Amino acid sequence: MSAAKTKQNISLNQLPPGKNIPGTAIVVDAFKYRNPDFLYFLSHFHQDHYGGITKNWSDGPIYCSQITARLLRHVLDVPEQYIKSLPQNEPVDLNAECRVTLMDANHCPGAHVLIFDVKTDESVKRYVHCGDMRYEARMKCWPSWFRDGALVDVETVFLDTTYCNPRYKFPKQDVVTAADDTPPLAQAQRRTLFVVATYTIGKEKVLHEISTACGDLCIYTSPDKKEILNLLDLPYANIFVREPRESSVHMITWGKLGEMVPGGWRFLPNWGFAQEYLDWANSLLSDDVPKFTHLAGIVPTGWTWEFQKQHGTGSLFHCTMKPGQEHLCIYEVPYSEHSNFEELREFVEFLKPARVVPTVVGKSGNAGKLAGYFRDLVDSRKSFQLGFNDLFAGEWTFNFS
Ligand SMILES: [Zn+2]
C-alpha cells in the first residue's frame, strides 16, 4: 500500500464501519487511515488487513499477536518501537478504560479474535472483533466468554462475513483434511508432482495433512517462504524443505495455478504455468531419476464449492483436467480458513450480541442485508436500545481469500 493511498488526520467518525471499537480510539485493521491518536490493532498478517503498514510506519504502536509481530519485523521491516506484541488467552489492560484478550481465530498463524472490554461510566461493554475467523464449536469453551459461570454480555460482534450467504455450505475443515478421495495420491505408478497453492501465510494445515497422508513426506517451499514458515511456531515446521528435488509436493504462490472467474464461483486454470512448472521441476532432476509424468495442482478454497456441488461429480475434491492433455489436472479442495454460513450463525447464536457488524462486504453488497441474516439471533431488547442508525454506510473491503 503506497503512502499516497493513505488518508491523513482521519477522525474516528470518518472511518468505515467495522474499524473502530466504540467509546475508544482503538481501530482494527485500518492502517490506511492515519491519526497519531488512534490505537492500532492488527488482527492477522494478511495483506487486506495490514495494507497501509510500511517500513516507514510512524503513527503509533501496532498491537498484535507475537507471531504477527515477527512477520511485521521480518516481512515489512516495521521499526521495533512501533510493534507491541500481546500474549494469547490472557487479558491485558491497555489503559484504565480498556482491556483486550486475544484468542486463536483458527485462521492463519497469528490470527486472533480480539475481545475488548471497555469501561464506561455505568458499566463495562464488550466488543468482539473477529478479524478473519474460521469458527469451530470448541470456541464456545473459551473461558474469556464467561464471568462467574455466566456468559458475559456482548454488545457488538464485528463478524468476518467473507462467506455470509446461505449458499456457502462448504464442509468443515476436518472433513476435508480427512478425506481420502484424492485419486492422484493413489496413483503411485505415475510420477506425479503435486503443486499446492498457498498465501504468504495460511493453509499450512493442508500441507501437513498431505505430508502425513504420504508417510511423512517432506514438502518443498522457496527459501523466502521457508524463512516465514520458521516464524510461525508450527509443530510440524520440519516437514518443509528448501530443495525442490527432495519432494514431489511443492508449495507455490497463490494465483499461479489460475484464478477465480471474475464475478463467478469457478476456477480458471492456468495450464501454461502448470506445464512450465512441470518442465522446470523435471529439469532439476539428474538423468538417473525418473521424470515426473503428471502434475496435480491443489487449490484450497471455499469459493468454488457450490458450483462444484451443482456441476461436479459429487466428489469432495473437484478435478479439472486439461482437455487433450490429461497429464495436467487441478483439484479444487473446499478447505477454507473463513467460517461458512452455518458456522457464522452458530457463533452469533452463542454470543447473542446486541448487534452484528459485517467486516467484509462485496463491492455490490449490502451490509444491512448481511446483518439481516443474524437478526433472529441477536438480543433484540439490547438492539432496540442501541438503535441501528448509521451502522451500514461507508467504505467496505472485499476479501477474496
Ligand atoms: Zn485473512
Q: What is the CATH number of the domain that holds 99?
A: 3.60.15.10
DSSP, residue by residue, 159-207: E--TT-STT--PPPHHHHHT----HHHH-TTS-EEEEEEE-SSS-HHHH
Mean pLDDT to the nearest integer, 101-126: 96
CA of 281 to the centre of ligand 1 (A): 30
Structural contact between residues 341 and 364, judged by C-beta atoms closer than 8 angstroms: no
Structural domain of residue 211, as residue ranges? 173-333
Q: Which of 290, 312, 333 is the last residue of a domain?
A: 333
First to last CA, the chain: 18
Total tally of structural domains belonging to the chain: 2
Residue 211 lies in a domain: yes
CA of 112 to the centre of ligand 1 (A): 10
Residue 169's pLDDT is 79
Mean pLDDT to the nearest integer, 371-383: 82
Higher pLDDT, 251 or 312: 251
In this structure, are 84 and 127 located in the same domain?
Answer: yes
Residue 328's pLDDT is 93
Residue 393 lies in a domain: no
In this structure, are 180 and 159 located in the same domain?
Answer: no
Structural contact between residues 335 and 203, judged by C-beta atoms closer than 8 angstroms: yes
Q: Which of 292, 315, 333 is the last residue of a domain?
A: 333
**CA 40, CA 84: separation in Å to the nearest integer?**
10
DSSP 45: S
Higher pLDDT, 7 or 288: 288
pLDDT > 60? residue 154: yes
pLDDT > 90? residue 307: no
Strand partners, 98: 118
In this structure, are 161 and 203 located in the same domain?
Answer: no
Instruction: Extract the C-alpha cell encoding 378.
Output: 441477536
E strands present in 91-172: 92-93, 98-104, 112-119, 124-129, 146-147, 150-151, 156-159
Higher pLDDT, 186 or 96: 96
CA of 291 to the centre of ligand 1 (A): 37
In this structure, are 92 and 155 located in the same domain?
Answer: yes
pLDDT > 90? residue 280: yes
Q: Which of 318, 333, 348 is the last residue of a domain?
A: 333
Residue pointed to by grid coordinates 498478517: 45
* Per-chain mean pLDDT for the chain: 87
Residue pointed to by grid coordinates 512450465: 276
Q: Place 59 in a pLDDT band, splitting at 50, 70 and 90.
A: very high
Residue 394 lies in a domain: no
Counting Cα atoms < 13 Å in the Cβ hemisphere of 173 gives: 17
CA of 326 to the centre of ligand 1 (A): 34
CA of 247 to the centre of ligand 1 (A): 28
Residue 216 lies in a domain: yes
Q: For residue range 308-338, list pLDDT tens digits in order.
A: 666 666 666 778 888 888 899 998 888 889 9
**CA 124, CA 23: separation in Å to the nearest integer?**
11
Query: What is the signed CA dihedral for 359, 361, 363, 368, rounded to 10 degrees?
Result: -110
Mean pLDDT to the nearest integer, 119-138: 95
In this structure, are 373 and 326 located in the same domain?
Answer: no
Residue 208 lies in a domain: yes
Mean pLDDT to the nearest integer, 203-227: 90
Mean pLDDT to the nearest integer, 25-30: 97
**CA 354, CA 381: separation in Å to the nearest integer?**
8
pLDDT > 50? residue 245: yes
CA of 206 to the centre of ligand 1 (A): 16
Higher pLDDT, 384 or 160: 160
CA of 269 to the centre of ligand 1 (A): 23
Q: Place 400 in a pLDDT band, splitting at 50, 70 and 90.
A: very low
For residue 238, what is the domain's CATH number? 3.40.50.12650
Query: What is the signed CA dihedral for 152, 156, 160, 161, rounded to 10 degrees?
Result: 120
Tell me the pairing of strands 112-119 and 98-104. Answer: antiparallel
Nearest 5°: the CA angle 341, 346, 352 is: 125
In this structure, are 205 and 148 located in the same domain?
Answer: no
CA of 20 to the centre of ligand 1 (A): 18
In this structure, are 248 and 365 located in the same domain?
Answer: no
CA of 108 to the centre of ligand 1 (A): 7
CA of 348 to the centre of ligand 1 (A): 20
Residue 391 lies in a domain: no
**CA 25, CA 248: separation in Å to the nearest integer?**
50
Residue 398's pLDDT is 39
DSSP, residue by residue, 292-305: P-EEEEEEE-STTH
Q: What is the pTM of this model?
A: 0.88
In this structure, are 237 and 309 located in the same domain?
Answer: yes
Tell me the pairing of strands 146-147 and 83-86. Answer: unpaired
CA of 44 to the centre of ligand 1 (A): 7
Structural contact between residues 373 and 347, judged by C-beta atoms closer than 8 angstroms: no
Residue 68's pLDDT is 98
Q: Place 17 in a pLDDT band, splitting at 50, 70 and 90.
A: confident
In this structure, are 264 and 157 located in the same domain?
Answer: no
**CA 241, CA 167: separation in Å to the nearest integer?**
39
**CA 230, CA 224: separation in Å to the nearest integer?**
10
b/e per residue, 69-89, with b = 16+ CB within 10 A? bbbbeebeebeeeebbbbeee
CA of 152 to the centre of ligand 1 (A): 27
In this structure, are 361 and 308 located in the same domain?
Answer: no
**CA 154, CA 144: separation in Å to the nearest integer?**
12
Instruction: Extract the C-alpha cell encoding 132.
Output: 478473519
Strand partners, 150: 147
In this structure, are 144 and 98 located in the same domain?
Answer: yes
pLDDT > 90? residue 114: yes
Mean pLDDT to the nearest integer, 122-130: 95
Residue pointed to by grid coordinates 484424492: 182
Residue pointed to by grid coordinates 483439484: 331
Tell me the pairing of strands 39-41 and 62-65. Answer: parallel
CA of 401 to the centre of ligand 1 (A): 7
In this structure, are 38 and 141 located in the same domain?
Answer: yes
DSSP 60: S
Residue 180's pLDDT is 56
Q: For residue range 253-274, list pLDDT tens digits in order.
A: 999 999 887 766 778 899 999 9
CA of 161 to the centre of ligand 1 (A): 12
> Poorest-confidence range of 45-49, 96-100, 204-208?
204-208
Q: For residue range 172-200, list pLDDT tens digits in order.
A: 877 666 665 554 444 555 688 999 999 88
CA of 199 to the centre of ligand 1 (A): 10
